[in-house]
Structure 1
Amino acid sequence: MAEAHQAVAFQFTVTPDGIDLQLCHEALRQIYLSGLHSWKKRFIRFKNGVMTGVYPGSPPGFMVVVVSYMSYNKYHKLDPSLGMFAKLSQHIPIGRYMSEDSQKIVGGVLVGTGLWITIIFIMRNALKCLLSWHGWMYSRHGSVSLGTRLWMLLVKVFSGRKPMLYSFQNSLPRLPVPPVKDTCRRYLESARPLMDDEQFERMKGLAKDFEKNLGPRLQWYLKLKSWWASNYVSDWWEEYIYLRGRGPIMVNSNYYAMDFLYVFPTSIQAARAGNAIHAIMLYRRKLDRAQIKPLMLLHTIPMCSSQYERMFNTSRVPGVDTGRVLSRAASSHTATLLLLDTIQHMNESKHIAVYHKGRFFKVWMFYDGRLLLPREIEQQMERILADKSEPMPGEEALAALTAGDRTPWAKARDAYFSRGKNKQSLDAIEKAAFFVTLDDTEQRFVEKNPIKSLDSFAKSLLHGKCYDRWFDKSFNLIVFKNGTMGLNAEHSWADAPIIGHLWEHVLSMDPFKLGYTEEGHCCGEPHPNLPGPQRLQWDIPAECQDVIQSSLTIARTLADDVDCHSFPFNDFGKGLIKKCRTSPDAFIQIALQLAHYRDKGKFCLTYEASMTRLFREGRTETVRSCTMETCTFVRSMIRDETREERLKLLKEAAEKHQNMYRLAMTGKGIDRHLFCLYVVSKYLGEDSPFLKEAVACGPGCSSPVCCCFLSSLCVHQVADDGYGVSYIIVGENLINFHISSKHSSPETDSHRFGGNIRQAMLDILDLFQLDKKAIK
């Protein structure tokens, strides 16, 4: 009750002597500080918007241009207004109000401003033209040509000084639309290893027909969109690949990030949560102030930062797929609306949502107009852990709604969570900065039992109990009972490298900058007057509880079918691979092809994600790693070939893979182009046999092996009979692999495939006959 009284700024009672007004000074003080914090944030956003809007110009540059222009005109005794005021005076009595000196100053400022804007426009477009050239990507590793060095120098000159996170957005080139002819040719090249002669000839005929007839018409629409929109792919990719999906996003879409394997900063759950939450909030503050430096390849070439915008205060909201039904009425067509998931983003959120043992809590992150310190956040987590109250009916498994099919969740949300206390509590979760789970299980990498411990750790982060993570939130911070932690992230708002950047920040700050006391607590002291967490209240009827249990059943079936295997490969790492003068990524991708052929005795379509963030609002492109060159090398490893021949074929396969990666990064990939052509064909009501078959073998559809190079972030396979493989290259001597498949598939076994990967890595390295001991 004391906390409730503090929340009221004033109280009054009516007496015979009048109204007795009682002000709560503490409440008024908190209101003042909160308002001050809000206005500071608005000012910073406004200032950053101005700085980004004029970049690569700057206010000091504006002053230099204006003063230089006016000084030049004064020295040469020229009219700085270029006759503007003389012409205006003929129609407006401007001379009555402004002296001749004032006219010169105003005219100089106006013309100088115009000159400054012109300089910015020229620099911005010159930088855009420079960034449209990608010849630097084809330079040999370790050697840069004179032309590339001159180009990089020009990029630095036109890039300005001290760029902020979003400074380069207006200077990035747009994603180009590849020619239909090139896309068809590269598609056929990628499909050749997977087709026999008869199938390939048939596909060639379909491609040729498409290229001559329907393709140019669809291409015209895409060209039009590329001129009008910032990116011709990203909005359709987000809508059709993610938001239109009606199946569970748990396992199928969401991915996870894992904690340190060999570092255990503290075993106190509340303390680890305190430091991690504080580090995340500091990252959000930097993000709000655009103080995070944009990612620059070779410390020179900027990458798009648009995906950072929805990292915090964001939740995916389910929609009902009612289908599209056409009917004739009065000679006109009518159609029902297609309501799908949406991404809800709030500009501001001052709290987080916390789940522990079936209860939901709202925890404010600010007090006295400042961010809570790590020890104060630990104090709030301790209060939640000490709370012995029981979950309300239906509350414990409520989050299972976000783990099951989307349509039942959308209908339940509309029917039971659109009013009253349920709406208020749901808003507290969906509008939170992010979601935190204080898990009541223990997970940790155990060196004596690495396989079992890592597999359990991975499955817990991927799906948990299916009801103890809010899978719709942009990301969930999961802190286990023994102090280890991880993330589970929703995929539609951004790709894995974005959340990876946040996670690297948290892991670097937690033990090294924030630190812990000798007892394992966060540094600092608890706050004596800090209001406690707010328990969220629910009134969930029996009908809704039935929907929750139905979603939970679906989610558990999906989770139980996940065959997850994680293992550290420590026989060698990128240091030894580079000694072989081979790209580490190409080396691993070719090893995966060899492992898969040994596992299943055949080749399959392979999807490796490549980023397209060299372009504005770019997301990903597909690298089809199963090439003719790779297949030829794999067959040589199966047949009795000489080492020299195998080595030659390996280098050819690696070079081919690197070239395909370059094409994908520079907007010359095939899958996103085919996808957009397919979308346009559906809008036009055109049926294309070529697109139907080509897109059916594209990303997110039926790709049997998903091999993604992600920074400690792990995904699930995209086909029922395939594998999902993620790997992180840790330093010079360690590569962590994460493999997933389905128990229900008789063709797959994640542990068997892991063994094949290990052996393939060793076999390929043996071709180089390196003396590992001498190298070390």
Structure 2
Amino acid sequence: NICLLFSWATIVLLSLTRIPGRYLTHQEGLPKLPVPPLNQTCDRYLAVLEPIIESEELNQTRTLVEEFQRPGGVGERLQQGLERRAHKAENWLSDWWLQMAYLDYRMPVVIHSSPGVVLPRLEFSDRQGQIRYAAKLIAGVLDFKTMIDNETLPVEYLGGRPLCMSQYYRVLSSCRIPGIKSDSVVNYASNKTPPRHITVVHNFQFYVLDVYNSDCTPLTVDQLYVQLEKICNSSLQTNKEPVGILTSNHRNSWGKAYANLIRDKTNKESVRAIQKSIFTVCLDAPMPRASDDMYRTRAAVQMLHGGGSRWNSGNRWFDKTLQFIVGEDGACGLIYEHAPAEGPPIVALIDHVVEYTKKSDIVRTPMAPLPMPQKLCFNISPELKKDIEEAKQNMNIMVQDLDMKVHVFSYFGKNIPKSYKLSPDAFIQVALQLAYYRMYQHCCATYESASLRMFRLGRTDTIRSASVDSATFVRAMDDQSIQNSEKVALLEKAVKAHRAYTDMAIRGQAIDRHLLGLKLQAIEDLSALPDIFMDTSYAVANHYNLSTSQVPAKTDCVMCFGPVVPDGYGVCYNPMEEHINFAISAFNSCADTSATRLAHALEDALLDMKALLEQTPKAKL
């Protein structure tokens, strides 16, 4: 899993009226992703290893790094190759990253790669309420799509610099295609005849729903409601095999099953219709009831995996880039396939759609009859039936193994760190370091994603949250011999160090993608892999026991994803003004991890840090 979202500073939006070709002109005006200086990366690499590597191992790594960067050595040769690549390519990293982080990754996309988003709970009194909301949601997404189609989507700015908008143009009408050893992504939005339909799945059955009238205007909410009602009435009449659950399997297994599935002409046409659709809407059956305090956690697992083969896991096509989920019981959200985009474009779309659904219904007008949505048929051979059963079993194992906790930290939000002139994101990250240290008595490699969207086709780099300064603070925090005033100074230093690393990362000067580029350059050159990449320290540095991301939204929602290592945690958070939404995941198969324990430790850490600031004179600036 490489759940790569994005720690957001304040984003400024600038909307423009339609200018044909504005998107391309905007993109061409963005700078290229730089290749950082080799010596700078080597020095910073050693610095990030310090809090997570034993001193004896670190000394050995220092020797390897010195050898790697010596004048005329292998590092210099690879650096020159990377610089040549950067000169020729639009972005020296993006193709490599897409391939390595996503398309070559063979674990199931479910839990291991695709993030989910839990929206605020809705109350539907009946199935009509579910259908009504789904109709409004579809209309809201189509409204957002109009901005993409007309190139009037507001350009985003960070620190006065425009950001790359390409990810917004990749999430609609796109889909991942499985392969035996590697996958691919197709996008139909730029076709001469772009898709005019979405797919709706209810009771494990898929339907094509045309969402535009003959005059190219989108269907109204009323029209969509009528069409969705037809689908629900039709799908209740039969109970078919959950073909969609095949998409949840290990990518190699799914790749083989896919080749088998599309040998049949009917199946191939049905699959193509799903792949080409603008997006998918999953109308879910109600899940088992949960107490109010457990509701968000249960909704999170429903978004991530559907609850297992007994529930809604077959009511999905997990390869589809965007799947909006509307449960009969009011559980709503989405899951997205990660290859085309990071979290922020998805959240911007969600914010738009949620606002759209709050609009009052327009007065209803008489409607011309619309054709029945087309049901997609599948011919299930005995071999495919066996593949489906295997996918069901594997999904149920994954469901049992996921330990998820959605925790609403209600004591304070962004307001408290801001009142002390501290970065809220950095404050939360230092609290995570403190929580982890208290649980395990050591620091660990920590990933927080940083956006590279200041650069053309920019994706992400890593903010290394475990720093020398954060390690000094967390060790001092519970030491009774250290004065509170000194602890506050160490906390402020740790927060500032994190802020500085973040700024460095978003300007293309972090170490992780550069080191990866040097490694991939060596592989491309067919030369022996340099010793620093075979070193234990490199493996430890890339074993992220904490994989984290801040994904802020205006909507009171939270994104969630699985851990990236068997003994690790996935932590995603949305800091609101007066509370913070956390989604914490771990694996039950690891005896040493517990999402609930980390949630409690994190709450204690945040409260203790606040108390420290309050108890210390002159802490408030």
2:4 aligns with none
CA distance in 1, matches of 2:473, 2:115: 32
Change (3 A) 1:363 1:738: same
1:477 maps to: 324
- What is the one-letter code of the residue matched to 2:609? I
- Structure 1 segment 408-423 matched on structure 2, within 5 A: 408-423=253-268
Q: Which structure would you say has the larger Rg?
A: 1
Letter in 2 for 1:549: E
- Please give the alpha-carbon distance, in whole angstroms, between the structure 1 residues aligned to 2:499 and 2:603: 22
SS in 1 for 2:51: helix
CA contact (8 A) 2:429 2:465 kept: yes
Q: Distance in 1 between matches of 2:235 and 2:465?
A: 53
Pairs aligned (count)? 584
Q: Answer whether contact 2:207 2:376 (CA < 8 A) is retained.
A: yes
Asked whether the equivalents of residues 231 and 618 of structure 1 are also in contact (C-alpha less than 8 Å), the reply is: yes
Pairing of 1:356-755 with structure 2 (within 5 A): 356-369=202-215, 370-387=217-234, 389-391=236-238, 395-442=240-287, 449-464=291-306, 465=308, 466-511=313-358, 513=359, 515-516=360-361, 524-525=364-365, 527-640=367-480, 641-683=482-524, 684-693=526-535, 696-697=539-540, 702-711=543-552, 712-730=558-576, 732-755=577-600
- Say if 1:434 and 1:160 are closer, same or farther in 2 by CA, change over 3 A: closer
Q: Aligned partners of 1:288, 1:276: CA distance in 2, in Å?
A: 18
Question: Using the alignment, how far apart are the partners of 1:391 and 1:207 within structure 2?
Answer: 64
In structure 2, give the amino acid aligned to 1:176.
P
8 Å Cα contact 1:266/1:483 also seen in 2: no
- Relative to structure 1, the CA distance from residue 391 to residue 245 in structure 2 (aligned partners, 3 Å threshold; closer, same or farther) is farther
1:257 pairs with one of 114, 117, 132: 117
**2:185 corresponding residue in structure 1:** 343
Q: CA deviation at 1:161?
A: 9.4
Residue from 130, 134, 155 that aligns with 1:294: 155
Q: Which amino acid aligns with 1:722?
A: G
| CA pair 634-468 structure 1, distance change in 2 beyond 3 A | same
- In structure 2, give the amino acid aligned to 1:260: P
Is 1:285 aligned to residue 131 of structure 2? Answer: no
User: C-alpha displacement at 1:545, in angstroms?
Assistant: 1.0
Distance between the aligned counterparts of 1:306 and 1:443, measured in 2?
A: 40
Alignment of 1:103-252 (within 5 A): 164-212=22-70, 213-252=73-112
Q: Give the secondary-structure state (helix, strand or coil) at the position aligned to 2:324.
A: strand
Residue segments in structure 1 that go unaligned for 5+ positions in a row: 1-136, 142-151, 322-339, 517-521
- Counterpart in 1 of 2:603? 758
| RMSD value, Cα | 2.4
Instruction: State the one-letter code of the partner of 2:605.
Output: A
What does residue 133 of structure 1 align with?
A: none
Match of 1:353 in 2: 199
Moved more, 552-561 or 284-293: 552-561
Contact 1:675-1:695 within 8 A present in 2 as well: no
Task: Assess if the C-alpha contact under 8 Å between 1:359 and 1:390 holds in 2.
Answer: no
Give yes or no for contact 1:451–1:565 (8 Å, CA) kept in 2.
no
**Which amino acid in the other structure matches residue 254 of structure 2?**
W
Equivalent residues of 2:205, 2:242 under 8 A apart: no
Q: Quick one: which amino acid aligns to residue 168 of structure 2?
A: Y
Mapped to 1, the partners of 2:464 and 2:317 lie a distance apart of 33
**1:698-732 deviations in Å (ceiling 9; x for gaps):** 5xx521111211133222111111111110012x2
Q: CA-to-partner distance for each residue in 1:663-685, whole Å, 9 max, x for gaps?
A: 10001000000111111111223
> What is the CA–CA distance in structure 2 between the aligned matches of 1:304 and 1:241, rounded to whole Å?
20
Partner SS for 1:205? helix
User: Residues 375 and 526 of structure 1 are in contact (CA less than 8 Å); yes or no, is this contact kept in structure 2?
Assistant: no
Q: Per the alignment, do residues 526 and 499 of structure 1 end up closer, same or farther by CA in structure 2, a change over 3 Å counting?
A: farther
* Displacement of 1:467: 2.0
| 3-state secondary structure, aligned to 1:199 | helix
Give the letter for the 1:296 counterpart.
Y
Output the amino acid matched with 1:367.
N
1: distance between equivalents of 2:255 and 2:364?
44
Partners of 1:492 and 1:697 in 2: CA distance:
25
Structure 1 CA distance, aligned partners of 2:418 and 2:394? 46
Aligned with 2:145: secondary structure?
A: helix
1:263-316: per-residue Cα shift (whole Å, max 9, x none)? 658860000000000110111121011111111125x42101111221111010
1:487-528, Cα deviation, whole Å (9 max, x unpaired): 1000011111111111111011111x3x24xxxxx7535734
TM-score, normalised relative to structure 1: 0.72
The AA in structure 1 aligned to 2:418 is K
Cα 1:374–1:526 change in 2 (3 A) is farther
TM-score (norm 2): 0.90
**By how many angstroms is 1:440 displaced?**
0.5
Q: Secondary structure at the match of 1:531?
A: coil
CA distance in 1 between partners of 2:86 and 2:235 (Å): 57
The answer to which of 347-356 and 609-618 deviates more is: 347-356
